Amino acid sequence: MGPVMKQKPTSDEMLEIVDKLRNKFKVPITAGTAFGPTGIKVTKRAKDDFHVLLGHIAMFWKRTAAAKLKDAGITVESVNAPANGKHAEDADYVEIVVPVLGEEQIPPDKTFCWSCLRYSPGGSFRPVLLKKTVPAGRPFFKTIQGGRIIFSQSFIELTKDLRLTGFVEGKTLLPVPVVN
């Protein structure tokens, strides 16, 4: 389809494409799923070891931070992040593959479609995790309903112990309640 669709597909055509992709890759794919590394424009000097794009589309770690976490026993898949901009080379980011595993509780005023994996009406909502879907032993994961990246408390503590920057309680990290 490319970045600009030449012809707007119907809803049925879009669901057919999504269904074929799900069958091929065996992962939860929505019409908004990005394929391949995410390009990032680095316009100012990267101060932090971690960077998450707004809307939780992608998570980037400095290559040095990824190496420290690997040495500490956190093994994750990553890809080289195509970056441009004045400070792209200095940032030296890798994009981290974030597995989609958890589910969120949908507020009563919203509905969720299991065919297209989207909720409606649009607009964000406060995340509440469903306990039965929280993967044990995972340092982080993404939720199906909101696409939010959730970090385990032990992972956050490890980043503090390693003096890695980018996670700030109350700013870049917000508590997420878990319900049965």
Question: Looking at residues 129-133, what average pLDDT do you find?
Answer: 93
| Cα dist from 92 to 44, 67, 69, 156, whole Å | 13, 12, 16, 22
pLDDT of residue 165: 95
Please say if the pLDDT value at position 136 is more than 70: yes
Domain segments of the chain: what residues?
40-179
- Give the confidence band of 1 by pLDDT, cuts at 50, 70, 90: very low
129-130 and 178-179 beta bridge pairing: parallel
Region 117-122: mean pLDDT is 85
- The rounded percent of the chain whose pLDDT value lies above 90 is 32
Q: What is the dihedral of CA 82, 41, 166, 107, to 10 degrees?
A: -100
> pLDDT tens digits for 4-55?
667 777 878 878 888 888 889 887 777 667 777 888 888 888 889 998 876 6
- Average pLDDT of the segment spanning 126-140: 92
